[in-house]
Homo-oligomer: A and B are copies of this chain.
Amino acid sequence: MKEKLEQLEKLLHEIHDLSAANAVLEWDQQVNMPRGAAEDRGEQMATLSRIAHIKSTSDELGKLLDDLTKEAASLAKDSDEARLIKVAKRRYDKDTKVSGDWVAEFTKATAVAQSTWEEAKVNDDFELFRPHLEKLVGLRQEYAEFFKPYDHVYDPLLDDFEPGMKTAEVQKIFADMKDEQVELIHQISQQPEIDNSFLFLKYDADGQIEFGKKVITDFGYDWNHGRQDISVHPFTTSFGLNDVRITTKIVPDFLSPCLFGTFHECGHALYEQGIAKKFNRTPIADGASMAIHESQSRMWENLIGRSEPFWKRYYKDLQKIFPSQLGNIDGSTFYKGINKVEPSLIRIEADEATYNLHIMLRLEMEIGLMEGSIQAKDAAQVWKEKFNAYLGIVPPNDRQGVLQDVHWSSGLFGYFPTYALGNLVSVQLWDRMLQDNPDTAEQVEAGEFSKILGWYREHVHQYGAKYEPQELVQKITGEKINSAPFTRYLKDKFGKIYNL
């Protein structure tokens, strides 16, 4: 068995290296690549993907995993070896169930859909995008068929991002919080509006970056195993556990995107930098799920980065960098400004209190599209109706409505709920952390994050993808993913800010 395990690791290392190489190519594409190289880069990435796919679905790997799965019965269920076999087998089974023809058609369809979506969005032309949405929904319905029997047609999609999680679970979680979130926003809307106009002044790029770098260095970002660059869309990527890079973007007349975006991406990066090195170059060297990943980015962005203790410590540093913009704004005004709640059209600009509503809307639509209870041709109209129901606004156009996100044009159905689940998990874990580390607020106010990071390293990061998300949350908190802590957190935080 030892020999077979070594053989498995060898195959997994090779697959990992190919995908790490592809990640370097993609990072370079976003950060450095000259424009004229786009087509060649596409070919290079396609070649690496193709070779990696062949290796990920090889009979050699399948046979080895079958043998090892049998032999793993003798291993402790939670041993690293047993888990590695389980995670690798799960991936292999998923990869091999889907036909090559489907993958080829899907790849082609999304390439066309994405460029059409870009055009449709610019021109506010849903009809242009409509046939592609129909096509991709159809392809995703076919995709689900590969995984029959399932409880719900949406399950196989969700499972790609949240291993083991079911549609019914997510629906229940969202249903539990919906009324209270809507009610909270209604209450806030009755209160005087907060002024955050000082965030929309001219902020020098170097100053934005300097402040962000200082903060994430304090958070514990390891520059010896990472770096930060500028890109159009901020992202985190890793080429193994020893090279976890982040990017940020600068909006010259809006302070928030670089500020909170940097904390957010740093949160993702701290997760990957914290995975135990013994898992490097294996499928366990990854987040447990998108929601768990998002719980880490949201934690540093919101629970710390938009908290009062944090700004008690760091606001004077920010003022020093931007004296003309912030010199006359006191700390309390700043704190309220960055936490202003306001129903708005665009998900990625939404505040903590309204964010999940954007997601609930998308989940309902995705499930409807997959079930067939919503037709792709009606998506723009349904969007408007639901948006009004959730957020009290009717989007004036489709550009800021159904066409705003890239996900559907890339065939990514099942991804959206992970954003909201991440918010919920972030508070569940945070509450548990507070029990072990009751002085958290004082530490944050002192700019001292090592105990906080240490707790997450110990309870979350080190395991990587060893456990499934529900399993991990249960192991840490004693409960499965649920919305109660998050709803309490929102009511408490915004109750104070808005004097509710």
Chain A residues packing against B (C-beta within 8 Å): 13-14, 17-18, 20-22, 24-25, 28, 32-37, 39-41, 43-44, 47-48, 51, 222-227, 239-243, 280-281
Contacts and interface: CB of A to CB of B under 8 A. Distances in A.
A28 B27 CA distance: 10
Contact of A44 (B20, B223, B226): B20
Given A14-B47, A28-B28, A48-B21, A40 B227 contact: no
Most buried by B among A36, A223, A224: A36
Total identical chains: 2
A222 B24 contact: no
A220 to B, nearest CB: 14
B281 A34 contact: no
Contacts of A18: 47-48, 51
B34 A223 contact: yes
A168 B33 CA distance: 44
Contact of A28 (B24, B39, B223, B281): B24
Nearest to A51: B51
Contacts of A43: 13, 17, 281
Given A24-B24, A24-B25, A40-B240, A227 B34 contact: yes
Contacts of A13: 43, 47
A210 to B, nearest CB: 19
Contacts of A14: 47, 51
A17 B227 contact: no
Given A17-B43, A41-B243, A226 B34 contact: yes
A239 to B, nearest CB: 7
Contacts of A241: 40
A22 to B, nearest CB: 8
A230 to B, nearest CB: 13
A47 B17 contact: yes
A37 B281 contact: no
A22 B47 CA distance: 13
A323 B243 CA distance: 43
A280 B40 contact: yes
A176 B136 CA distance: 71
Contacts of A243: 33-34, 36-37, 40-41
Nearest to A35: B224
A227 B224 CA distance: 25
A242 B42 CA distance: 12
Contact of A37 (B28, B39, B240): B240
A318 to B, nearest CB: 27
A305 to B, nearest CB: 24
B17 A225 contact: no
Contacts of A40: 20, 239-243, 280-281
A43 B241 CA distance: 13
Contacts of A48: 17-18, 21
Contacts of A22: 21
